[in-house]
Amino acid sequence: MSFKSGAQNKINNEIKQFYTVISFGEKVDFGTMDTSITWTITNAKNNINTTLQGNEINTYVFQEPGEYDINFQENKKHDDDCIHLMFPERFRIKVTPVKLSFDFSKIAFSGKIERGRNYSNLIISVPVTITSKDNSITKLPAPGISVSGVGVAFTTVPAEKEIILNNKIQLLKYKLSGIVDKETYLMFDFYDFNNQVQTYNLSQIIK
């Protein structure tokens, strides 16, 4: 067994280490847990102190933004040589006050992507819903996107560097440049404000 690595996230121009960063109202799936495991979730600022057993951690909803201390305790002895726990005894989860979800059913491309064609400014548009806890955030830097596939050499940038939150469905646009030189399927990784990925797979093969 080995520790799961945390995700590095740039917060207020500082690099802080968290196990993961999620949005308010979300859960974290830690996988299947033995009932001998005890979790303690603490957020002193919001007066949260919760104790859970085993898989109960997977259904816990982090409702309030902030930084949560998670204590992991395995209450059974190991008879083998395994001396590593599944998780660190103590780690942190950051919960942000903004949530972003993409509506990939309405994704649109300004042109057809074809093999061997050099693109300089193809536009990808996708509707998004952005929710801010108690309307505490009014604008944010636009998150990025990456494209992968065999023989793919694309660069992508948001069409607008900043997003103004308006509590309505908004249309995010990305500029795509580059070329596909092999027959392939394309996978688009859209990042949210927590640097977590929501993936869209283009159904047709590029040929």
pLDDT mean over 120-125: 96
pLDDT mean over 79-107: 83
| pLDDT above 50 (res 146) | yes
Q: Which one, of 198, 163, 171, 204, lies nearest residue 186 by Cα?
A: 204
pLDDT band of residue 7 (cuts 50, 70, 90) is very low
pLDDT mean over 23-27: 96
| pLDDT above 90 (res 11) | no
pLDDT mean over 35-40: 94
pLDDT band of residue 3 (cuts 50, 70, 90) is very low
E strand intervals along the chain: 7-11, 14-18, 20-23, 37-43, 48-53, 66-74, 90-96, 98-102, 108-109, 119-132, 139-141, 145-148, 152-158, 162-164, 170-180, 187-191, 197-201
How is residue 8 annotated by DSSP? E
Rounded distance, CA 136 to CA 64, Å?
12
Look at residue 175 in the predicted model and tell me its pLDDT: 97
pLDDT mean over 188-196: 95
Domains, the chain, in order of start with CATH, read: 7-96 (no CATH), 100-201 (2.60.40)
Look at residue 136 in the predicted model and tell me its pLDDT: 82
- 72-84 residue pLDDT tens: 998 876 555 454 4
Top mean-pLDDT range of 83-87, 132-136, 202-206: 202-206
pLDDT band of residue 152 (cuts 50, 70, 90) is very high
